[in-house]
Amino acid sequence: MAIVNRTPDSFWGGNRHAELDSALQALREAVAAGADIVDVGGVRAGAQGPVVDAAEELRRVMPFLEAARTEFPDLVLSLDTWRSEVAREASSVGLDLVNDTWAGHDPDLVHVAAEIGAGIVVSHTGGLPPRTDPVAVTYADEQGGDDLAVVRDVLRVLAEGAAAAVTAGVAPERVLIDPTLDFGKTTRHSLTVLAHTGDLAVLGYPILQALSRKDFVGETLDLPADDRLEGTLGATAIAAWLGATVFRAHDVRATRRVVDMVATIRGDRPPALSVRGEP
């Protein structure tokens, strides 16, 4: 899942595409590099930056979605939004997926996804509202030394969110679950949840991991966003080995290669070539 941010203030400077031409060039490069899904967003996730209302969000994402659908009619198009009115308007382009990064903050969003026949990403944010950075976040029982409290909370929230999506009418095979690292989590929380990616498989839905250049990588290695690629790829390899199947990424080519390599080692994908030592 390639990321295209139609924003001037995304946390990583390498993915700021306020101009449509820049966004469309990023789209073409992502597809050429092996993206199966392209996820476009019109609002920065963090608290910094100006308020972006629904009208401005639509002004940013709609021209991109329309052009993307025309140029790549079979590409899976995903919209990163927490607003039901934005998703409903975007349905005119044949939207395939709604990436609800803020865990059902707008309760109508899942119903819109069902109405338009789109899939939905169910996320976990620790109960925080949109564009809220975590501060002094704890989960039940942590004070007693229970480091897995956050994992149990992620499992509970994702199970409830996925069930609500199916009840609303989203086809079960169109539901993805995302533990949403960094959102509502400390770096230690994110690392713990990442290490327990495999535990999410019990829920029975495809697992999406959004790891790309995030703060938990930066804090782990003490690196700014520009220098977090290797850490991201290390986390990607671990998550892929543990069963994640969708990866939201800024660096599509590198991520595609890591995921393909892990899939081959796991036995899920044959080598592209196998001629060394053959007669």
**Strand arrangement, sheet containing 37-41:** 2-5, 37-41, 76-80, 97-99, 119-123, 175-178
Question: Would you say residue 111 lies in a domain?
Answer: yes
> CATH number of the domain that 239 lies in?
3.20.20.20
Cβ distance 87 to 79 under 8 Å? yes
| Active site annotation includes 214 | yes
Distance of CA 164 to the CA centre of its chain: 19
Question: Would you say residue 49 lies in a domain?
Answer: yes
77 pLDDT more than 90: yes
H helix count then E strand count, the chain: 9, 8
- Characterize the bridge pairing of strands 97-99 and 208-210: unpaired
| Active site annotation includes 185 | no
pLDDT tens, position by position, 150-162: 999 999 999 999 9
How far apart are the C-alpha atoms of 182 and 47, rounded to whole Å? 13
Question: Would you say residue 272 lies in a domain?
Answer: no
Mean pLDDT for the stretch of residues 156-175: 98
Question: Would you say residue 274 lies in a domain?
Answer: no
Question: Would you say residue 262 lies in a domain?
Answer: yes
Distance of CA 188 to the CA centre of its chain: 20
Question: Would you say residue 225 lies in a domain?
Answer: yes
pLDDT tens, position by position, 180-192: 999 999 999 999 9
Domain span at residue 114? 2-266
Question: Would you say residue 56 lies in a domain?
Answer: yes
pLDDT tens, position by position, 9-33: 888 888 899 999 999 999 999 999 9
Question: Would you say residue 273 lies in a domain?
Answer: no
Q: Which of 213, 214, 228, 256 is catalytic?
A: 214
Q: What tokens appear for 204 in the block?
A: 């029975």
Provide the 8-state DSSP code for 93: G
Half-sphere exposure (CA, 13 Å, Cβ side) for 93?
28
Cβ distance 111 to 84 under 8 Å? yes
144 pLDDT more than 80: no
Mean pLDDT, the chain, integer:
96
Mean pLDDT for the stretch of residues 59-71: 98
Q: Which residues touch 109 (CB under 8 Å, ≥6 apart)?
A: 81, 82, 83, 84, 87, 98, 100, 120
Number of domains in the chain: 1
Residue with the larger pLDDT of the pair 50 and 199: 199
Provide the 8-state DSSP code for 201: G
CA-based nearest residue to 97, from 74, 118, 114, 82: 118
Cβ distance 76 to 105 under 8 Å? no
Q: Which of 6, 16, 44, 248 is catalytic?
A: 248
Provide the 8-state DSSP code for 113: H
pLDDT tens, position by position, 243-266: 999 999 999 999 999 999 999 999
pLDDT the model gives residue 143: 64
How far apart are the C-alpha atoms of 209 and 192, rounded to whole Å? 14
